[in-house]
Each structure stands twice: as structure tokens, then as C-alpha cells.
Amino acid sequence: MGRFLVIFLVIISLFVSGCAQEEPKNVVPESQVFAGEVTVEGTVKRYFADSPDRGMNMIDAKVLLEELETNRDQYFLVDIRSREDFEKGYIDSTDLNVAFAQVGYNLDLLPRDKTIVVGCYSGQTAGQVVAALRIAGYDAYSIRGGITGGWINAGFPTVGAPVVDPSAESSGGCG
Amino acid sequence: MKKMNRRSFIKLSTVAMAAASGTVYTSKAKWTEAASKTPPSITRSFSVCNSCGNRCNIIAFKRQGRLWRISGNPRDNKTGGKICARGHAYAAMVYDRYRLGTPLKRMSNGFEPISWEQAYEEISDKLKDILRKNGPEAIFWSEYSKPISNFYGARFMAALGSPNWTTHASTCFAARNVGFNHTLGGLPTGDYENTKYVVFIGRAPADGIGTSILKGLPMAKQKGAKVVAVDPRLSYSANSLANEWMAIRPGTDLALLLAWIHIMIKENLYDREFVSKHTVGFSDLEAAVSQYTPAWAAGITGLPEEQISRVVKEMAAAKPAAFVEPGWHAAYGSNYRNSTQTARAIAIINALLGNLNQPGGLCFYSGANLGSLDSSRHQAPPNSPYKRVDGAGVAGKYPLALGSGLHHLLPGLAKEGKFKAGFFYSINPARTVPDREYVVSGYKNLELSVVIDWQFSETAEHVADYILPESHPLERDGIVEPISARMPQVSMQSKAIEPVHPGARGLDRIVTELAQAMGFGRYFDFKLDDLNKAMLFPLKLFPVHLQQRGPQVAGGAWDYGQTMFRTPSGKVELASGTFAEHGFSKVPIWESPLIEPSSGEFRIIHGHQAYLTHSQTINNPYLVSIAKDYHGEAIWINSKKARELGIADGSDVIVSAKGYENKVRCKVTERIHPEAIFVPAGYGSFASKLERGFELGISMNDFVPHASEDISGHAMMQEAVVSIRKA
Ligand code: SF4
């Protein structure tokens, strides 16, 4: 009897803590279900089949500029250039700067309810990131020609590292 | 327009609530039913508790669109993942029917709901008028210090040209900070976890919760550390954490500390090497304290001479892993005429112990190196050319007071006509500043008073012309905030649920829109997200890191050993040249409290309870029911004195002081000094709209006269005596 009670309590506590820790499942969107099957192969097939209709998953710098001005909240802008180059001049509304090789470790930072726009130097590495993200179920585009080749070359504005002031007197509240 | 009474207010709130959620559940029961039918979709957000100044990191879980529960965040280096009852109870307030959901305007017969547009238009018209007639000095901002308002409130005042950005410091920790700043160059934190000996002067860290203390001290105690509580009252904290209670006469801590310094020097118990290398003014100190013998201190403090000598010797034997805790409001944050010098004496003892930046001592942990908005892209308002009207930092007034001002002086200045408009953000001076009559009648002279809060308060009900509803912290993103600890971190409140009241707004938005209405929009041409990005830039982090992962490490780990101090000399100033320059004693010397109880009178002392925060929790149904169930409102009186007065435990007593009296339940106990009565803070509400706790208990602020101390300018909140009689 006592043992059952213990087991019961263990199960209950697992259930309770299990619920608490539960995260939203990575459900593959319906659009990626190909021939009724959700497989990597199917998703890849769908990626290739659909990409031409989406302009090869690229967005022109000019279109991006306009979109950022009007629909800022719908986009999540990722700059995959090196930190050094990023600091020299980046698009003001950048949401994340992460090197190409680190993208995989930072998938948790990428929103599934926004359009992810990836920018690199010339568009080549961003294109690879976009392909991987799309297969992983994100809605992603790369900046045509990259941030350097597309955006900066077009003369669109970038900003540099902000001037850092020493922070003001802090006066915390009390417990 | 129709006058708003409580019924229509609640109706309005309910409509707002329904409109807010994507799927509309007309009752909690409907939601429960829906939630039981669909598989649980649980999401988690990282936020920060706003229920007190600790700002613990929390994790908010949302289920089926509703806030389901919150927990502490184990990644928070200051809390280790523990949160308190107030944290849970405050989170639950997001659905409370007493929340404010629409701007309100005072009419002759009560408050009336108005639109944001009308509120902005009328407030900015009035402000422009005051700016024209009286200039920007006639406007102040008063806040309970929070990261969001430290930025937006201060910038708003600067945009208007006003020098009067003010926080609650002068009724909280002002004396402590001024004393420490002019001795050690800042306020250190205890290395609680590694200490061997700690003395608390009046601080009760499990009553007025100090998270890093509660996290670290039990570990130290397990390793054998000793804790001493110097306090006229054996608080619940002292009862559970301390090994020894020194039942000192209230207001005489300075005498004890001076005797300790005397003994340390006379008996060569101090760290000679540290003192010779890293301090200035030792000979002045030595000369000044030569008269303060343990026998002398025993006479003043009422403590046994043996205890006075033994405790300091034990502490010195444990140095450098020993410290006198820097305190908060406690005994000398803003309580007595001698409080600033008391703070200096505490800082000095710690220097004599050589414990600064030593394991188990007091440490100046580094905070995160945050960035700021690039002023070449976002024009910063110039600093006001005017002097602060409250005199903080002003020669001839309170030159050594903190830059965050002296908010308890504002009502008097309003009465004198020096202030015409005031903003009150998340602060309730009508209840939390001494002398209700002085505060309320003073502020009533303002031509414009604007309260920004999520609920009613005494200040909202009795002072405000306009009340602007702030959204609940769980409904919005916050500003990046640093957590200084051995491993510094940054954290941020991120939105956990859709707004229950879409009519309520975040402070960033309110200030930005108000500035735009005033024609100062150029100083607010950015969003909170842009500001957060700029603040995080040097750390190579983005808001999304904090939103998705919670608090993040910010910079390298701090290490022991640093010996540079941010004082004019770069050393610990045992004697302060700055104090001398302004006519104050350069070393602490004995000064008695301003007011002494005569026979039949009691000094009124106050303190926190772990389940209430200032005056803002008195309408929280969960917390106030704890208070009611356990008679938290009861004042404490010493058993011997109670016997003399014929007062029984649990009976009602009348507490009276000049011209005012009130009835309250009393707790008769050995745990308080016979000269004092203890009045818990957070009670005595006189805002009828806070129905659940209205008129429960009493507030010390009804018995404490308005006053200011000379050095740091604080409100001297325990310089008051009362009489007690049976009800
Ligand atoms: S101590 Fe309690 S009320 Fe204060 S911030 Fe932490 S959880 Fe919130």
C-alpha cells in the first residue's frame, strides 16, 4: 500500500513538473507536408518546388527597406557577418548578429511567427542559412546581394556602434 | 460625461478584459472548460517581478492564453530561483478587478474615465501653460525607483528642462548611501556565502526581503558562521537567522559602533596593513573615538558592557571574513538625526576589519557595462540649467544629498508655490511619507498632478488630477536591467501574456506620447526595443537573447582583491574632507537622536513584513488575507510595559501623538525594547478604493512629524514618540 502511494506520488510529481517544463512542440506546418508525408525528404522536395514562386527566397534591399519602415514588427533581421564587420556598419533594426557557424546553436532565438530575413556579405552564405531554416520550418528570406553587396552598395543607411556613456547613478528600490 | 463609480469602473474593466483576449472567455469557468478540452499549450516567458525593489527574475507560464503560474528563475544569480509570496500574489493581480484600465480625470464629484487623447491634450496644455508662466523648475517627477522610470522619468524631466527628477530615497536609504559614498566611494554588498561573522544593524532580511542575503547566509551558517542582530526588536529574521540578539535602545546604534571602533583601535584588533595602505584620516578617527569606551556605550545603548566588548572581539577574530552589514532602510536608512554618521561608522568598521573585496567581507561587485542610445542619432535632452528646487546637491541647502533628490520636501515646496505640476510614478507619498496632512494638503496646491500607476493609491485618490493606467509588467517588455553579483548578469522583463486591459499602457509609451504632445518628441524618437538594443550592444547581446533565454551573463566574473575606492582620495576616507568642507564632523562623533521619549511615551519604530510591500499590497487579496489571518497589523509592545498599562495581548490600544490618535490591535511580547513600539509598514490605508485593506491597522506616518536631517536631508522617520493606552 505504502509503496503504491509512493509510486503514485512520483507519477503525480513527474506529471506536474512535466507540465511545467513543457515547451511548444515543433510542429511541422501543413505547407511542408508533401504527398501526405512529413519527412525530411518531402520537406526538401517542397523547398525546391516552391522556391521559384517565392523569388528564390530572396528579398531586394529596396523592398526590405520599405517593409522595415512600414511593417517592422513582422520581420526578424539576422546579420550573419562577423561581429567586427557588423560593428563597422549594420542595418539599424537588426535583431540578431550571429556568425554562420553559430546559427544552428541559436535556433531557439528565431521566431516562428515572423519572417526571418538573413543578411551576409554577398548573399551566398545567407542563402544557405535560408535553405536550412526553411527546411526546419521557418519563413526565411535572404537579402539579395547581401548586406554589404545589396544594402550598403545601394546606399541604404547603416549605423555603427553606439557611443557608450558610463551609466548614471543607480538607486535601487528596497525589498 | 457620466461620472465613474466603482460599479461602472468594474464593468469597464470586464469589457476591456474580454476585448483583450483573442478568444473570448466570458468567465474563468468557461476558460477552465475550454482548457480541459484542448491539449495543453503551455508557453514560457522570462520576466522580472515588480512587486518590490529586488526585481527577482521569474518565469511566467501561459496556458491556453492565460497566465497559469510563475516560478523563480534558477539562472538569476541573486536569487538562485526562489521567489516570495508577494511575487506570486502580484502576478495574479494581472486579472484583478481593481486594476486601472482607462485614464481618469478628477471631476467635482469623483473620477471620470477619459480617452488617452483627451488626457494627453489636457495634461500637455496645462504643462505648457506652467512652463510659460513658472518655468521648468516648477515641475517635478517623483517615482519609486525602477529601471524603466530611472530612464524615462529622468529623460522626460530633462526634455522639459526640469532639474527635479526624484525617487523615494529620502524616505528609504538616503543616509546609508551618503554615509557609504563619502567613506568607501559606494555601497558594497556582503559576500554572505563565505562569511564567518555578520552583524546586522536593524536590518531584518527575511522580513524586508534581501534576496542575496537569504540565498547566501544559510550556506555560511551551515559552515559555522555567526550572525548577530543589533535591533530593538527580535524580528522574525533575527529569530531565525541570528545566533545572538543585542537588544539595543532605539536610535543609539551610533554609540555602539563608536565604542566598537574605540575597542578595535585601542586593542589593536584592526587590519593595520589595510589601514596604512588604503585609508586616510586614521589619526583623526583615533582621537575622536578615544572617549567612547564600552562603559560609556553601555550607558547609552542599554546593552551589557560585556556583550559590547565580546561581540567586536569575536568579529575582529573572524576578519577579514566578517562584516557589519550595510543595511537598507532598517535602522539608519532615513530614520534618525544621527543616521548619516551611523552609516559612516559602519563603513569605517568594515574598513578597519580590512574586509573590503575580501572573501567573506564586503565587495564592490561589478555591474554589467551597458551601452546607451547613440546621441548622434537620437538627440539627448540637455541637462537642466536650473538647480534642484528641493536643494539636493545645492550649496547652502543639502549639498551632500543624493542626486535623486528629497521627495519628502516636495509637498512643502508645492505649498510655498514653488511647484505647480508633479508626476507620481509608482509611488504613493500620501501614505509612505511622514505626516499625511502635510503631504496631502501640500500637494493639493499643485495646479496639475498626474499619477501613473496600475491601481488606486492614497495619492491617486486624494491628490491626482489625472490617473494614467500603467499596464501590468507581465503584459509588456521592460528595459534591460543589470544584476550586479560575483557573476554580473543582465535581465529583462518580456511580455508573457496579451494585455488584459488594452487601455493600460507601458511607461515608455506614456512618456513618449506625452513628450510628443508637448512638442518634445525629438527626444523620444526611438522605441524601447531600440533603447534595449543600444544598452546591450557592448555585451554583444540582443533583446531576443533575454526574451528567449532569460538572464544572461554580462562580462567577466568579478574577483577579490581590488583596493581602489571611488572617493576623492581614491582611498577609504576614515575622516572625510568633503564632510569637513560642508561643516559636518569629518569623523563620526556621538550625537543623540533628536527626540527622546519621556516617561509614558514610546519611540515609534517600523519595519517590513515578508508579505507586504510598502503601501502597494494592501489591496492584494492574497496578501491582505495573510495579514488579516495572522493579525499582521498588530503593533508590538513590550510585555512589562503592557502590564504596567493594563494592556493584554491581542487587545486594542489607542496610539496617540500630538493631535492624532488611532486604534489598533496589539501584540504583547518580550521581543521588543521597552522604550519602543513597533508598527509594521504597509497598513493604515486611507484610500477607500483599496477596499480589501482599507483602514486595516495604522501607519507610522500618521505619528511622525515632517522633518529633514542636515547632511543627507532624509526624513528622520523614527524621530517620533507616541503614547499608548487601553482602548
Ligand atoms: S523578493 Fe518577492 S516581491 Fe520582491 S522581487 Fe523578489 S519575488 Fe518579487
Range(s) of the domain holding residue A113: 32-171
From B264's Cα to the closest Cα of chain A, the distance in A is 32
In a domain, A10, yes or no: no
Q: Which of A3-7, A152-156, B287-291, B309-313 has the lowest mean pLDDT?
A: A3-7
Q: How far is CA B549 from CA A109, B57, B346, in A?
A: 8, 12, 39
Which pTM value belongs to this model? 0.90
pLDDT band at A2 (very low <50, low <70, confident <90, very high): very low
CB of B83 within 6 A of ligand 1: the answer is yes
Measured between CB atoms, which of A19, A108, A170 is closest to B548? A108
DSSP B385-411: SSPPTT-BT-TTSBTTS-TT--GGGHH
Asked if A18 reaches chain B (Cβ–Cβ under 8 Å), the answer is no
Does position B322 have pLDDT exceeding 80, yes or no? yes
B63 phi/psi in degrees, rounded to 5: -130, 125
Identify the pLDDT of residue B24: 60
Identify the pLDDT of residue B60: 98
Q: B40 and A24 in contact by Cβ < 8 A?
A: no
Per-residue pLDDT tens over the stretch B237-253: 999 999 999 999 999 99
List CB contacts of B186: < 8 A, sequence separation 6 or more.
Answer: B180, B364, B565, B566
Asked if A36 reaches chain B (Cβ–Cβ under 8 Å), the answer is no
In terms of pLDDT, which residue wins out, B15 or B721? B721
Map out the domains of chain B with their CATH numbers: 2-93 (2.20.25.90), 104-171+387-553 (3.40.50.740), 174-363+561-581 (3.40.228.10), 601-726 (2.40.40.20)
Give the integer Cα–Cα distance in Å for B504 and B675: 47
CATH number reported for the structural domain that contains residue A135 in this entry: 3.40.250.10
Does position A4 have pLDDT exceeding 60, yes or no? no
In a domain, A68, yes or no: yes
A135 phi/psi in degrees, rounded to 5: -65, -30
Identify the pLDDT of residue B29: 79
For the residues B16-21, what does the mean pLDDT come to?
40
Identify the pLDDT of residue B72: 97
Ligand 1 atom with least separation from CA of B54 = 5
In a domain, A21, yes or no: no
Per-residue pLDDT tens over the stretch B249-267: 999 999 999 999 999 999 9
Q: A109 and B544 in contact by Cβ < 8 A?
A: yes
Per-residue pLDDT tens over the stretch B136-175: 999 999 999 999 999 999 999 999 999 999 999 999 999 9
Q: Residue B103 C-alpha to ligand 1 middle, in angstroms? A: 28
Asked if A107 reaches chain B (Cβ–Cβ under 8 Å), the answer is no
Residue B110 burial by Cβ neighbours in a 10 Å radius (0-12, 13-18, 19+): exposed
- Three-class SS of residue B664? strand
Q: Which three cell numbers stand for residue A39?
A: 519527412
In a domain, A5, yes or no: no
Per-residue pLDDT tens over the stretch B361-401: 999 998 888 999 999 899 999 999 999 999 999 999 999 99
Identify the pLDDT of residue B40: 72
Identify the pLDDT of residue A32: 53
Q: Which of A38-47, B278-287, B349-358, B474-483 has the lowest mean pLDDT?
A: A38-47
Q: How far is CA B349 from the centre of its chain?
A: 25
Q: B54 and A171 in contact by Cβ < 8 A?
A: no
Identify the pLDDT of residue B23: 57
For the residues B522-550, what does the mean pLDDT come to?
96
Closest C-alpha residue for ligand 1 atom 5: B55
Residue B442 burial by Cβ neighbours in a 10 Å radius (0-12, 13-18, 19+): buried
pLDDT band at B658 (very low <50, low <70, confident <90, very high): confident
Per-residue pLDDT tens over the stretch B97-138: 999 999 999 999 999 999 999 999 999 999 999 999 999 999
In a domain, A18, yes or no: no
What mean pLDDT value characterizes chain B?
94
In a domain, A161, yes or no: yes
Per-residue pLDDT tens over the stretch B433-456: 999 999 999 999 999 999 999 999
Identify the pLDDT of residue A28: 53
Measured between CB atoms, which of A76, A161, A171 is closest to B167? A171
Does position A166 have pLDDT exceeding 80, yes or no? no
Per-residue pLDDT tens over the stretch B701-710: 999 999 999 9
DSSP B48-99: E--SSTT--EEEEEEETTEEEEEEE-TT-TTTTT---HHHHHHHHGGG-TTS
In a domain, A124, yes or no: yes
pLDDT band at B659 (very low <50, low <70, confident <90, very high): confident
Query: What are the residues facing B139 on neighbouring strands?
Result: B421
Identify the pLDDT of residue A39: 82
Per-residue pLDDT tens over the stretch B39-78: 678 999 999 999 999 999 999 999 988 999 999 999 999 9
What number of residues does chain B have? 727
Chain A CB contacts of B432 below 8 Å = none
In terms of pLDDT, which residue wins out, B553 or B17? B553
Instruction: Say yes or no: ipTM exceeds 0.90.
Output: no
CB of B616 within 6 A of ligand 1: the answer is no
Domain count, chain A: 1
Q: A24 and B41 in contact by Cβ < 8 A?
A: yes
Per-residue pLDDT tens over the stretch B561-613: 999 999 999 999 999 999 999 999 999 999 999 999 999 999 999 999 999 99
In a domain, A70, yes or no: yes
Identify the pLDDT of residue A165: 45
Chain A CB contacts of B608 below 8 Å = 175
- Per the omega criterion (within 30 degrees of 0), is the bond before B320 cis? yes
Ligand 1 atom with least separation from CA of B84 = 2
Q: B177 and A168 in contact by Cβ < 8 A?
A: no
